[in-house]
Amino acid sequence: MELLLQSVDRAIDLLFHLHEHAQPRGVSEIARALGLPKSTVHRLLRALARRGLVEQDASGYAPGGRLLALGLGAQERDPVVAAARPILDEEARALGETVFLMAPRSAGMLVLDKAEGVGFLRAAPRLGELVPLNATAAGKLALAFAPERFPLDSAALEGFTERTLRDRETLRTEVERARRRGFAENHGEWIEGLSVVAAPVLLDVVGAGRRLIAVLAVAAATPRLRELGAARVARRAVDAAKRIQVRLGAAPRAASGAKKAPSKPAVRPARSELRSP
């Protein structure tokens, strides 16, 4: 059993390695990168190729078409993606910029979906990519609204640009600010020239209290965000996040916990849709 689990781990590492490289990779390159014997890499590639998970051409191996089917299948089954997609499309059309949906998963904040605008930064980040907590608006919201899952004191402080927050106390101040305001910003902290405004999607989970389910983020070139007006984009992001909450079955309220006007009792989503991912 231990050998089987080791083989599974190695196969997964191999798939992620291929995913992270735009060009096909040769057996020797893969073996060096993963620290595996070439014979082991050959065996794994043959097994994965038989199932269509990798494909080979004259220059090497690349992810196979069956991976796309698996990924799309997982995405289509996600209730948060289904609830958010029309809103992402609407905001992308209204602003002309790319709007992302990110959600907490076991390893961090994962890009689940996006609606592309016409800006030049359409491809960053990619679907399925994890975003750093200390350098992104979505990460700051994760630290602010899911501290039990993403404790700030253990968050990595990796540097990406000169603007990246690498001092824990400065990051703590930014996280507290995001919690108070109900949205977060990132201006060139992860990718030079890219600015992002993000708002949390929060739901009352039976037995677990108020939980961060997802984050809606609007990304634009920094000059373009100034043109649109960061405050205006923030208002739209917060409103869009609340509309996703409503589509999931929750009554909207301020992310910072401000009092809301009396309303009809909210219909909570089914427990199966609210499990912590």
Count other C-beta atoms under 10 Å from residue 176's C-beta: 14
Residue 61 pLDDT greater than 80, yes or no: yes
- In the chain, the percentage of residues whose pLDDT exceeds 70 is 82
Gap between the Cα atoms of 174 and 170, Å rounded: 6
Give the β-pairing of 194-205 and 54-57.
unpaired
Of 123 and 85, the structure prediction assigns the larger pLDDT to: 85
Q: Where are the domains of the chain?
A: 2-69, 78-273
Task: Note the pTM of the prediction, 2 decimals.
Answer: 0.69
Regarding the domain delimited by 2-69, which CATH topology (the fold level of the hierarchy) does it fall under?
Arc Repressor Mutant, subunit A (1.10.10)
Instruction: Dump pLDDT digits (tens) for 98-130.
Output: 999 999 987 789 999 999 987 655 556 888 889
- Whether 2-69 shares its CATH topology with 78-273 is answered no
Instruction: Dump pLDDT digits (tens) for 198-222.
Output: 999 998 876 667 899 999 999 999 9
Q: Which distant-in-sequence residues (6+ apart) come within 8 Å of 192 by Cβ?
A: 161
Contacts of 128-135 with CB under 8 Å at 24 or more apart are 128/19, 128/71, 130/105, 131/102, 131/190, 132/108, 132/156, 132/158, 132/160, 132/190, 133/108, 133/109, 134/158, 134/164, 134/165, 134/166, 134/171, 135/160, 135/161, 135/164, 135/165, 135/186, 135/189, 135/190
pLDDT level of residue 139 (50, 70, 90 thresholds): very high
Q: What is the pLDDT of residue 51?
A: 85
Q: What is 78-273's CATH number? A: 3.30.450.40
Q: Which distant-in-sequence residues (6+ apart) come within 8 Å of 1 by Cβ?
A: none
Gap between the Cα atoms of 105 and 78, Å rounded: 12
What's the burial of 184, exposed, middle or buried (CB within 10 Å: 0-12/13-18/19+)?
Answer: buried
The answer to whether the peptide bond before residue 125 is cis (omega within 30 degrees of 0) is yes
Instruction: Dump pLDDT digits (tens) for 87-98.
Output: 999 999 999 999
Residue 172 pLDDT greater than 90, yes or no: yes
pLDDT level of residue 259 (50, 70, 90 thresholds): very low
Give CA torsion, residues 35, 40, 46, 51, to 10 deg.
-70
Q: What is the mean pLDDT of residues 137-142?
A: 97
Lowest-confidence region among 15-19, 109-113, 153-157, 161-165: 15-19
Q: What is the mean pLDDT of residues 132-157?
A: 95
